[in-house]
Structure 1
Amino acid sequence: MAGTERQLTLRFLAEPADVNFGGKVHGGAVMKWIDLAGYGCAAGWSGKYCITAYAGGIRFVKPIHVGNIVEVSAKIIYTGRTSMHLAIDVRAGDPKVAERALTTHCVLVMVAVDDEGQPTEVPDWKPTSATDIELRESAIRLMEMRKKIGVEMQAHLDLQPQV
């Protein structure tokens, strides 16, 4: 039921096909996992098909090794009219022990769309704990920063020579 499941965690083993030339899990594979968890969480919250509108602040903190158990956790931290901001944490470690280390963190913005691909409303999420209130406030601050970055990026694009 829409508006009831705020978070989701995917768990799986990092496979040999995920390895880069340096022998660690490829950043692109991690980004795919982030997108999958974000979609699952956003679709579960909204009850709608969702698309990724933004992925930002991706921090690769620690490498993931083949054979590690990987946990990709997605959590709604802010809802707009049609969008959902999610905090994503990727943790990994030896599957034989319970400890998982943070390897990657980022924020995603997902937008719910209707059958014609147009943005559609999502259930409102209201924070209740002090931690959730701070996460929501952080999402709002990041949204304001993205607007400023968008203006700067447009100026950069406007200065590019036309081919």
Structure 2
Amino acid sequence: MPGQDRETALRFLAEPADVNFGGKVHGGAVMKWIDLAAYACAAGWSGRYCITAYAGGIRFVRPIHVGSIVEVMARVIYTGRTSMHIGIEVRAGDPTTTDRERTTHCIVIMVAVDRSGMPVPVPEWVPESEKDKELRESAIRLMEMRKKIGAEMEAHLEL
């Protein structure tokens, strides 16, 4: 039921096919897992097909080793009229233990769309805990920063 479950967790096994030239998991593989988790979270919250509108602030904190269990946690931290800001945390570790370390984190903005690809309203998420209120306020501040960055990036685009 839309508007009920704001968190999703996906798990992956880092395979040899995910390795980069340095012998660690390729950043592109991690970004794919992030996008999958963001989609699952947003679709679950909205009850709609969703598209990725933005992925940013990606921080690769530590490498992921082939053979690791990778957990991608996705959580709605802000909703607009048709968009959902999804906070992502990636953790990884040896599959024979329960220890996981943060490897990556970011924000992904997903937009719910109808069958013709037009944005549609999503259920509002209202924070209840102090931590959730902080996450919502952070998402709002990040929106303002993205507007400024977008304006600055215009200078780098060729028309």
Structure-1-length-normalised TM-score: 0.96
Aligned to 1:75: 75
CA–CA distance in structure 2, aligned partners of residues 130 and 155 of structure 1: 39
> How far 1:12 moved relative to its partner?
2.1
Aligned to 2:100: 100
CA–CA distance in structure 2, aligned partners of residues 153 and 12 of structure 1: 35
CA–CA distance in structure 2, aligned partners of residues 51 and 30 of structure 1: 18
Aligned to 1:129: 129
SS in 1 for 2:72: strand
> How far 1:156 moved relative to its partner?
2.4
SS in 2 for 1:134: helix
Summarize the alignment of residues 16-31 of structure 1 with structure 2, pairs less than 5 Å apart. Answer: 16-31=16-31
Amino acid of the residue matched to residue 111 of structure 2? Answer: V
Aligned to 2:110: 110
SS in 2 for 1:126: coil
Amino acid of the residue matched to residue 56 of structure 1? Answer: G
Q: Deviations over 1:17-67 (max 9, x none)?
A: 100011100000000000000000000000000000000000000000111
CA–CA distance in structure 2, aligned partners of residues 30 and 53 of structure 1: 18
Amino acid of the residue matched to residue 96 of structure 2? Answer: K
SS in 2 for 1:116: coil
> How far 1:154 moved relative to its partner?
1.3
Structure-2-length-normalised TM-score: 0.98
CA–CA distance in structure 2, aligned partners of residues 129 and 120 of structure 1: 27
> How far 1:71 moved relative to its partner?
0.1
RMSD between aligned alpha carbons?
A: 0.8
> How far 1:139 moved relative to its partner?
0.1
Match status 1:2 vs 2:8: no
CA–CA distance in structure 2, aligned partners of residues 116 and 35 of structure 1: 22
Moved over 4 A (4+): none
Aligned pairs, number:
159
CA–CA distance in structure 1, aligned partners of residues 94 and 55 of structure 2: 28
CA–CA distance in structure 2, aligned partners of residues 18 and 12 of structure 1: 11
CA–CA distance in structure 2, aligned partners of residues 153 and 60 of structure 1: 23
